């Protein structure tokens, strides 16, 4: 059976350019922190990857801090920002109610110092929530594009509200890079998270792009690599693959965004034609993610039936996969527990084709009927 992969928001297939870059880098021996010739060669390869990634993201190479992935980068901001001595008079971190678990769980761990910013029915941060920010807030973290619904957040308004009270601003841009114009220099942000495997790079590497003056402290201790914010030997090959994937994704963004937007439009039309289906996320959404609520069905049942038909989709964030509970994102948007438990995410990427969309549209009617029948028993 031919598989149709519509789960790029969880992880996107490895790009050939990334594989080629890693294959070449894996031939290089040496720790990039070592002083001998092999170490210096590894260091040069690492810095080349840093420079290429920075250029793709509109950042200075000195602002790129390699991490083990998006989760670590998010934790560096939420926990490292709250713990920095420069923010001692500002004990709180404010995050939106629809953040990725890497941000939301870190904020919850701050023992009452994590403030939650309410969102509207489309998942966008409410103006009233931004108006509630005060001088007790050190960092504000609002993701660029939501990983479950594709909702694009009003970052200019977030940054303006944070600046009003002197807070620093972070955005998880994992689902934005390669789909929307992203320039760290032009964004007004103080820090930004990116992840390789969402772009067609390798799993196991990400980056926190942070201004040199951003008030951050390390959350782990060690040898002091990566501006003393993230100790540990940086995997040169993974960094090289990350940079290659990012360069390719950003270079093709304009063309790919239009192509994926057209595919998403066809998918929306096919899904919305089914009875009692609601498309989530509103009008301001990225081109690669579609989240829909299938009333009267259990999302897990529908997911398994589509899987049997050769379609790979998701019930939400892959970081909570296997946990049978309503989507926290949809609950924050005001959905009922029943609706939040009846929603699927279809996400597109660089390998997506018309055939993938056709497969979903063809498989959904029967799968939905069977899922609703099972839920009614």
Q: Which residues have C-beta within 8 Å of that of residue 332, sequence separation ≥ 6?
A: 97, 98, 118, 119, 123
Instruction: Give ∠ CA 212-216-217 in degrees, rounded to 5.
Output: 125
Q: Which residues have C-beta within 8 Å of that of residue 197, sequence separation ≥ 6?
A: 11, 12, 69, 203, 204
Answer for the pair 284, 151: CB distance below 8 angstroms, yes or no: yes
List the chain pLDDT tens, one digit each, 377 residues.
Answer: 799 999 999 999 999 999 999 999 999 999 999 999 999 999 999 999 999 999 999 999 999 999 999 999 999 999 999 988 888 888 899 999 999 999 999 999 998 899 999 999 999 999 999 999 999 999 999 999 999 999 999 999 999 999 999 999 999 999 999 999 999 999 999 999 999 999 999 999 999 999 999 999 999 999 999 999 999 999 999 999 999 999 999 999 999 999 999 999 999 999 999 999 999 999 999 999 999 999 999 999 999 999 999 999 999 765 555 556 899 999 999 999 999 999 999 999 999 999 999 999 999 999 999 999 999 98
319 noted as active-site residue = yes
Q: Which of 19, 55, 110, 319 is catalytic?
A: 319
Whole-number CA gyration radius for the chain: 21
Which domains does the chain possess? 4-12+253-376 (3.90.1150.10), 16-251 (3.40.640.10)
Q: How far apart are CA 142 and CA 124, in angstroms?
A: 10
10: its two tokens = 């969880």
Answer for the pair 96, 125: CB distance below 8 angstroms, yes or no: yes
The pTM of the full predicted model, rounded to 2 decimals, is: 0.96
CA neighbor of 113 nearest in space, from 142, 143, 137, 130: 137
Answer for the pair 201, 15: CB distance below 8 angstroms, yes or no: yes
Beta-strand relationship, 168-172 and 206-210: unpaired
For residue 318, what is the DSSP state? Answer: G
């Amino acid at each position: 059976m031919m598989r149709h992969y519509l789960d790029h928001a969880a992880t996107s297939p490895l790009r050939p350019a990334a594989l080629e870059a890693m294959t070449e880098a894996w031939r290089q021996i040496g720790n990039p922190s070592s002083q001998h010739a092999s170490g210096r060669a590894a260091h040069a390869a690492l810095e080349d990857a840093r420079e290429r990634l920075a250029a793709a993201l509109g950042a200075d190479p000195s602002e790129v801090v390699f991490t083990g992935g998006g989760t670590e980068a998010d934790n560096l901001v939420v926990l490292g920002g709250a713990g920095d001595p420069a923010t001692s008079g500002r004990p709180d971190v404010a995050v939106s109610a629809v953040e990725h678990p890497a941000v939301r769980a870190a904020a919850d761990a701050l023992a009452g110092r994590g403030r939650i910013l309410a969102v509207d029915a489309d998942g966008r941060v409410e103006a009233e929530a931004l108006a509630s920010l005060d001088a007790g807030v050190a960092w504000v973290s609002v993701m660029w594009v939501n990983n479950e619904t594709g909702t694009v957040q009003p970052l200019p308004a977030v940054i303006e509200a944070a600046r009003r009270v002197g807070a620093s601003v972070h955005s998880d841009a994992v689902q934005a890079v390669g789909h929307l114009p992203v320039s760290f220099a032009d964004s007004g942000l103080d820090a930004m998270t990116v992840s390789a495997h969402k772009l067609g790079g390798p799993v196991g590497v990400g980056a926190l792009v942070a201004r040199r003056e951003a008030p951050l402290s390390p959350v782990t201790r060690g040898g002091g690599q990566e501006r003393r914010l993230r100790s540990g030997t940086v995997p040169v090959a993974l960094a090289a693959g990350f940079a290659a994937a990012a360069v390719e994704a950003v270079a093709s963004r304009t063309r790919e965004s239009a192509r994926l937007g057209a595919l998403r439009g066809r998918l929306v039309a096919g899904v919305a034609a089914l009875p009692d289906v609601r498309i989530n996320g509103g009008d301001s959404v990225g081109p690669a993610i579609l989240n829909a609520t299938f009333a009267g069905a259990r999302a897990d049942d529908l997911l398994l039936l589509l899987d049997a038909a050769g379609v790979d989709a998701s019930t939400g964030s892959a970081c909570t996969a296997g946990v049978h509970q309503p989507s926290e994102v949809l609950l924050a948007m005001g959905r009922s527990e029943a609706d939040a438990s009846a929603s699927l995410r279809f996400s597109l990427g660089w390998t997506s084709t018309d055939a993938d969309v056709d497969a979903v549209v063809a498989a959904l009617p029967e799968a939905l009927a069977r899922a609703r029948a099972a839920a009614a028993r």
